[in-house]
A and B are shown apart, each in its own frame.
Chain A
Amino acid sequence: MDFLNAIVLFANFVIIPATAYGAQLALGALGVTLIYSILRFANFAHGELMAFGAMGTILVTWLFQSQGIGFGPLPTALLALPIGIVLTVVFALLTDMSVYRFYRRQRVDPIIMAIASVGVMFVMGGLVRFIIGPDDQNFFDGMRFLIRAGEFRNMTGLDEGLAIKLTQVITVVVALIVVVVLFWFLQTTRSGKAMRAYSDNEDLALLSGIDPDRVVMTAWVITAILATIAGVLYGLDKTFKPFIYMQLLLPVFASAIVGGIGQPVGAILGGFVVAFSEVTITYAYKKFLAYLLPQQWAPDGLVQLLSTDYKFAISFIILVLVLLIRPTGIIRGKVL
């Protein structure tokens, strides 16, 4: 019984939240990796693009809510998501037209593009806070829990409860669908193959008649879709804080690099590696160990490797370790 309790406890506080968080990071990292493999620069503005997508979706959600439009037990934000995506796609394309295209035509070094994206990051961040304000926003409605801790306890007779939030399930399901569609797109469609070809060998792609502007545009469209979905899922799961997305940039980049930048599969793996590291390292194991160990061995302290305040430092540590030990990331290479 104690063993089961320990497992349920672990699942409740580590596995489930880390899975949802991992899915959010994976979607974010996919966007970073895509831009890296097509436009060949590290897009520091990706976090703010996620913020913009979330903001757009929130504004539409509020509009729907004020009109009394709902989505049953599901959050209205899911209904607003497509419109949020369209707004973000347009915004991303405008950004490309007004900033990156200029540098692309100049054929500048990737590092200059990356620095330009830092500028874009600040402008985007400012814009988001200008529109929606610097405060936290709650836009979640609908059913909160799929399984409540109390119900679970009654059902199973265990001491520990297992709570599964609806947002966590939505996160994982949506992420799964997005990833399947993305891979289908890259592997089988003509545009997808053109993107892979372009990412593999730009010179040859041009000589094969692949239109670079179209490939770049497609990359931005997909990235904006991914960023909006990632941003909204994160906001639904936690709350929407305009500043959090800038902080999220670090774990997102860590995910992309850990997995092997430019590798979509790597981005997904990396997302989960980072999420699980973050959650397992900041989790206090006191109660968990108390279940497993004999009474007299039960720990006094929290048995927490690192305080949750430092959770973003973990991405940083993982990043440094990976760059030292295996700079190519889990999956080698730098192409789609």
Chain B
Amino acid sequence: MIAVDNLHMHFGGIRAVDGTSLNIEKGSITGLIGPNGAGKTTLFNVIAGAYKPTAGRVYLDDEDVTGLAPHELFKKGLLRTFQIAHEFSTLSVLENLMVVADNQPGERLWDAWFNNKQVQAFEDQVRVKALEVIEFLEISHLTHELAGNLSGGQKKLLELGRTMMVDAKIVFLDEVGAGVNRTLLKTIGTSILRLNEERGYTFCMIEHDMDFISRLCGPVIVMAEGKLLTQGTADEVKANEQVIEAYLGTGQKHGKNRTSS
């Protein structure tokens, strides 16, 4: 589904992603773990089109999508959420969800004026969908609240909700569970599984909570210092000595990012 080939993303002297190659299988829920500063978010940023990579290629279903803009990737069914939740702070929760939908009437200036029936029907459809998502996330009481007023955890939910508004092929979740309470985390986990099974979403998720990873993810990829450290099932990874040293255990020497010489 996604193939990353020898990807580099350098910021001046910092090699945030330093020659990573990996594959994400269609229909899988792939975990991505690694110490802080390992380059996980940067990898997402490059795949999702926020940055053009210094070198390397990204393929989506065998199509080279390296350097495509985020909205073009969106049209191809690639979505992502942010580690630090983004929201349209001056729009309501409902509007936040309703603006997500592509290639539809009403986006064109003239349709808003001349194609009213069709636009209205589509709007109603989107509204129903948005309300469903809101209910699913258990934030119905916030439907008309400005998104800027939500709590950090609620904004995270909204991020997830955004990916449920359209039929995505693959969704990259950046610590979607961080800052969300335990019960809700369970619900989120369940909903990820359901989206995976019922709607065929492929997921790739960054997460620091190993239990959460074990519960959801098939393959787990470990990154450290901008490179792929190892991959395997959650259990295999947990048992891997390198991983224990770099991430799970007490080993500190690989923990922080450093600059290359």
* Residue positions of A touching B, CB distance < 8 A: 185, 189-194, 196-197, 200-201, 203-212, 214, 217-218, 221, 333, 335-336
In the complex, chain A residues whose CB is within 8 Å of the CB of B119: 189-190
Take A185-B112, A203-B50, A208-B99 as given contacts and tell me if A197 and B91 are in contact as well, using a CB distance cutoff of 8 Å: yes
- Distance from A192 Cβ to chain B, minimum over Cβ atoms (Å): 8
In the complex, chain A residues whose CB is within 8 Å of the CB of B99: 190, 193-194, 197, 205, 208, 210
Interface residues on B, range: 35 or more
Identify 17 residue pairs between A and B in the complex whose beta-carbon atoms are under 8 Å apart, listed by A's number: A190-B105, A190-B112, A191-B112, A193-B98, A197-B91, A197-B96, A201-B87, A203-B86, A206-B49, A206-B74, A207-B48, A207-B162, A209-B71, A210-B71, A210-B99, A211-B71, A217-B109
Contact call A191/B88, Cβ cutoff below 8 A: no
Contact residue among A185, A191, A212, A335 (Cβ-Cβ distance under 8 Å from B71) = A212
Contact residue among A196, A209, A221, A333 (Cβ-Cβ distance under 8 Å from B88) = A196
Contact call B87/A221, Cβ cutoff below 8 A: no
Give residues 68-92 of B contacting A (CB, 8 Å). Answer: 69-71, 74-75, 79-80, 82, 86-91
- Distance from B120 Cβ to chain A, minimum over Cβ atoms (Å): 10
Closest-by-CB residue of A relative to B106 is: A190
Contact residue among A191, A205, A336 (Cβ-Cβ distance under 8 Å from B108) = A191
- Distance from A213 Cβ to chain B, minimum over Cβ atoms (Å): 9
Instruction: Give the complex CA separation of A197 and B71 in angstroms.
Output: 14
Instruction: Give the complex CA separation of A211 and B166 in angstroms.
Output: 15
Contact call A204/B87, Cβ cutoff below 8 A: yes
Instruction: Give the complex CA separation of A66 and B42 in angstroms.
Output: 65
Cβ of B102 < 8 Å from any Cβ of A?
A: yes
Contact call B101/A209, Cβ cutoff below 8 A: yes
In the complex, chain B residues whose CB is within 8 Å of the CB of A193: 91, 95, 98-99
Closest-by-CB residue of B relative to A200 is: B88
Closest-by-CB residue of B relative to A213 is: B71
Instruction: Give the complex CA separation of A199 and B101 in angstroms.
Output: 17
Contact call B90/A214, Cβ cutoff below 8 A: no
Q: For the A-B complex with A196-B88, A197-B95 known, give 18 more contacts whose Cβ atoms are closer than 8 Å.
A: A190-B99, A190-B119, A193-B95, A193-B98, A193-B99, A200-B91, A201-B87, A201-B89, A204-B82, A204-B87, A205-B88, A206-B74, A207-B162, A208-B99, A208-B162, A209-B74, A209-B100, A335-B89
Contact call B90/A200, Cβ cutoff below 8 A: yes
Take A191-B109, A211-B107 as given contacts and tell me if A206 and B88 are in contact as well, using a CB distance cutoff of 8 Å: no
- Distance from B90 Cβ to chain A, minimum over Cβ atoms (Å): 5
Contact call B74/A221, Cβ cutoff below 8 A: no
Contact call A206/B71, Cβ cutoff below 8 A: yes
Contact call B90/A196, Cβ cutoff below 8 A: yes
In the complex, chain B residues whose CB is within 8 Å of the CB of A204: 82, 86-88
